[in-house]
């Protein structure tokens, strides 16, 4: 079995624009957490917005060199980008954006949600791209709730967003071996995790025991390298997000919204962005 390294409480939250109130649970700078190939996880725990006529969210901004994965649990979000993609991400939906060479995008709470108000909850993950695919053309995968297959267990249910579990193939296409499992945990659950994979577990709700240690809501469970498989137990009904991935073991140099292999590539990204090579995008809902 894989051994727990440490359990971390959520750090202080901060605003991304005026629509996302997040805690950064890990980033690629914290190599001791064994996060490779994942770069970052922001968790917007349930937050209640009052009805507003404002356009809430994060306006146009660039990315290069990785993918963003956003799981919307409550509320509704709208994505638009410089390649002409516009999508609503409903409650239970996932957006999987491959920035690759470069893209401008914006993420807003939907116009309807802003006007009505309500509870919003989401997770955003940054997933590194292997060197061979750093400059791949941008791509967007819109994954609605009904498109996410469920691997049923005796008591728990696992939505297989990416990867595979017990013969159930995930909804998303990936560039490297990763698993993204969204779990309603009840009782015991044994997960087959390859020995070479790193694993991270976010507890969104409830109380979980793993490797004789307990973690509750807004806790991140990190693991030592090695070992195979994980046993989870819900001490009360729980919601957890499990990320596993084969480490890329490649150099990482990041600068804001760009993650590349070296400083020269970062400088090129800035030059290309300033030259307008990422395209253009008008701010706002556009409707």
What tens digit of pLDDT does each residue of 34-64 get? 999 999 999 999 999 999 999 899 999 999 9
User: Across residues 122-142, what is the average pLDDT?
Assistant: 98
State pLDDT tens for residues 76-113.
999 999 999 999 999 999 999 999 999 999 999 999 99
3-state secondary structure of 90: coil
Instruction: List, in order, residues 6 or more apart from 285 with CB less than 8 Å away.
Output: 55, 78, 108, 110, 111
Peptide bond into 37 cis (omega under 30): yes
Cα–Cα distance, 244 to 196 (Å, whole number) = 10
Tell me the pLDDT of the chain averaged across its residues. Answer: 97
Confidence band (pLDDT; 50, 70, 90) for 186? very high
pLDDT at 69: 98
pLDDT classification of 287: cutoffs 50, 70, 90: low
- Answering whether pTM is above 0.85, one says yes
Asked whether the predicted pLDDT for residue 286 surpasses 80, the reply is no
């Amino acid at each position: 079995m894989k051994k727990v390294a440490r359990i971390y409480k959520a750090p202080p939250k901060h605003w991304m624009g005026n629509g996302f109130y997040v805690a950064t649970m890990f980033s690629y700078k914290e190599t001791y957490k064994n996060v490779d190939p994942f770069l970052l996880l922001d968790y917007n725990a349930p937050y209640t917005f009052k009805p507003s006529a404002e356009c809430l969210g994060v306006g146009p901004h660039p990315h290069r060199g990785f993918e963003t994965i956003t799981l919307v649990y409550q509320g509704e979000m709208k994505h638009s980008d410089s390649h002409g993609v516009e999508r609503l991400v409903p409650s239970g939906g996932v957006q999987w954006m491959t920035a690759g060479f470069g893209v401008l995008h914006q993420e807003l709470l939907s116009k309807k949600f802003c006007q009505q108000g309500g509870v919003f909850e989401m997770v955003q993950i940054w997933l590194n791209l292997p060197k061979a695919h750093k400059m791949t053309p941008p791509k967007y995968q819109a994954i609605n709730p009904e498109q996410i297959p469920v691997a049923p267990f005796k008591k728990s249910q696992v939505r297989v967003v990416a990867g595979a579990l017990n013969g159930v193939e995930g909804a998303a296409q990936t560039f490297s071996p990763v698993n993204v499992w969204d779990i309603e945990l009840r009782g015991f659950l044994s997960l087959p995790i390859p020995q070479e994979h790193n694993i991270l577990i976010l507890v969104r709700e409830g109380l979980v025991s793993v490797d004789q240690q307990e973690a509750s809501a807004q806790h991140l469970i990190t693991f030592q390298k090695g070992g195979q498989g994980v046993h989870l137990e819900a001490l009360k009904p729980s919601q957890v997000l499990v990320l596993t991935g084969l480490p890329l073991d490649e150099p990482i140099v990041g600068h804001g919204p760009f993650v590349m292999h070296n400083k020269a590539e970062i400088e090129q990204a800035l030059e290309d962005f300033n030259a307008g090579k990422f395209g253009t995008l008008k701010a706002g809902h556009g409707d």
